[in-house]
Amino acid sequence: AIQLLSLRNEVIDQSLFDTRFGTLQGKIAGVTMALHLMETVSLGQISSSRKKELLESAATRVNVGGIIGYATCSPHIAETKMQVNDFLKRHPNFNRLKIGPRGDNDGDLQLWTFRDGTDCMYLSLLERQS
């Protein structure tokens, strides 16, 4: 069941947030955070198919020249690069943008606990061309 936040401009106490949505473990960004705030699910239940649905939905809402920031706190290739590569095959009107000097060969950014001292996180920027 979906629970939309009804907080408006209110300050929420951390314990109230934890009671309503569960304790957040580590840093959560982008799509995963949006899902966590919209639904009462554990991070393990957010599947690759759900992430595909979210990317598809975003593709219909971004204007030409707009950018989708696909971010996830997963180190798993099925939830990171494979999602983006599959999306780009289905949407040739989008291009992957390069993320500065820390980006990999594709231009994406993957943070690793052992190297970066953070939770594992992934970011890909996808710009709509037409």
Has 73 been annotated as catalytic?
Answer: yes
Cα atoms in the Cβ-side hemisphere of radius 13 Å centred on 100: 4
- Given 73, 84, 121, 123, which residue is catalytic? 73
Residue 14 to residue 11: CA distance in whole angstroms:
9
- The label of the residue with tokens 């920031």 reads 69
H-helix or E-strand spanning residue 91: none
Catalytic residues: 73
